[in-house]
């Protein structure tokens, strides 16, 4: 069995982002970058499947420039068997990413693509679903429970939906996107990090996967949101109720 796990390089969730003065994006100087946390959950699940079933090859893949090799190294340190950088410049939207991943999957023919439900930078929550559409494969999004069914040709997935936990069975090959409760990614020990530095990172040139699709989303401007001003402190529940009733008029 082969599992492809796309990893996206994103600003660390605990860093406060700063917007560039010209509104063209965020400041990247001095910002710590990390593997998108949802993608780390996806990779962790792939590793657990390999631990359970043996014969599983895990391919971590990312799209971008030289700097993304750092996240591939993290993937290798966690335990991915291979790491692939698909070269691309400039910002890519979900569809442009999905098309590149689709071209990659047509070459690699994975049984499963496991990826995060959303990236914590653009919060789009689209790429997995678009990849499934482009490849014409079934999908299960927001997966918080995953179980391989006997024969390894179908997976049973618990999905976190607004209505509750939904269970679906999808035939492989399939695209699954991971939600928070699926697992807790392992801690990477130092020997793993050192070993990962010696492992090769494969590279695919920007044009090698055929026509490089353009982004259809054009960022015009990035701005700071209007800040909420802190209000007042009340001393008692009585004061709170009075103010909510007569001042804010919301109850």
Residues of this chain, 121-180, that bind other proteins according to CB under 8 A = 121-134, 136-142, 144, 156, 159-171, 174, 179-180
Q: Of 74 and 139, which CB lies nearer to other proteins in the complex structure?
A: 139
Q: Of 19 and 57, which CB lies nearer to other proteins in the complex structure?
A: 19
Q: Rounded distance, CA 45 to CA 155, Å?
A: 13
Q: To the nearest whole angstrom, how small is the minimum distance from the Cβ of residue 205 to other proteins?
A: 24
Give the position of tokens 């698909």. Answer: 86
Q: Of 73 and 179, which CB lies nearer to other proteins in the complex structure?
A: 179
Footprint on residues 54-93 left by other proteins (CB under 8 A) = 93
Residue 114: name the closest of 56, 74, 166 by CA. Answer: 56
Q: To the nearest whole angstrom, how small is the minimum distance from the Cβ of residue 154 to other proteins?
A: 8
Footprint on residues 28-57 left by other proteins (CB under 8 A) = 38
Query: Strand 139-148 relative to strand 154-161: parallel, antiparallel, unpaired?
Result: antiparallel
* DSSP assignment letter at 150: T
Residue 105-124 contact track with other proteins, rule CB under 8 A, x = bound: ------------xx-xxxxx
Q: To the nearest whole angstrom, how small is the minimum distance from the Cβ of residue 129 to other proteins?
A: 4
84: alpha, beta or left? (left if phi > 0; alpha if psi -120 to 50): beta
Q: To the nearest whole angstrom, how small is the minimum distance from the Cβ of residue 196 to other proteins?
A: 27
Give the position of tokens 């893949």. Answer: 61
Q: Of 206 and 234, which CB lies nearer to other proteins in the complex structure?
A: 234
Q: Rounded distance, CA 23 to CA 222, Å?
A: 5
Is the four-CA dihedral 218, 13, 34, 58 of positive or negative sign? negative
């Amino acid at each position: 069995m082969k599992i492809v796990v796309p990893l996206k390089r994103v600003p660390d969730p605990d860093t406060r982002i700063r917007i560039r003065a010209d509104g063209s994006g965020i400041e990247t100087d001095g910002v710590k970058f990390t593997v998108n946390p949802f993608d780390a959950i996806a990779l962790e699940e792939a590793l657990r499947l390999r631990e359970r079933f043996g014969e599983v090859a895990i391919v971590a893949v990312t799209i971008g420039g030289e700097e993304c090799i750092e996240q591939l190294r993290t993937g290798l340190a966690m335990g991915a068997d291979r790491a692939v950088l698909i070269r691309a410049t400039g910002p890519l939207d979900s569809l442009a990413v999905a098309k590149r991943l689709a071209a990659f999957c047509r070459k690699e023919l994975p049984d499963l693509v496991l990826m995060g439900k959303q990236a914590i930078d653009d919060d789009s929550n689209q790429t997995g679903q678009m990849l499934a559409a482009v490849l014409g494969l079934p999908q299960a999004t927001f997966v918080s429970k995953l179980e391989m069914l006997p024969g390894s040709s179908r997976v049973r997935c618990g999905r976190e939906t607004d209505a509750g936990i939904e269970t679906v069975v999808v035939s492989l090959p399939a695209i699954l996107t991971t939600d928070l409760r699926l697992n807790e990614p392992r801690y990477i020990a130092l020997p793993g990090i050192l070993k990962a530095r010696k492992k090769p990172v494969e590279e695919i040139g920007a044009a090698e996967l055929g026509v490089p699709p353009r982004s259809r989303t054009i960022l015009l401007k990035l701005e700071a949101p209007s800040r909420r001003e802190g209000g007042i402190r009340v001393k008692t529940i009585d004061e709170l109720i009075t103010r909510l009733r007569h001042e804010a008029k919301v109850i």
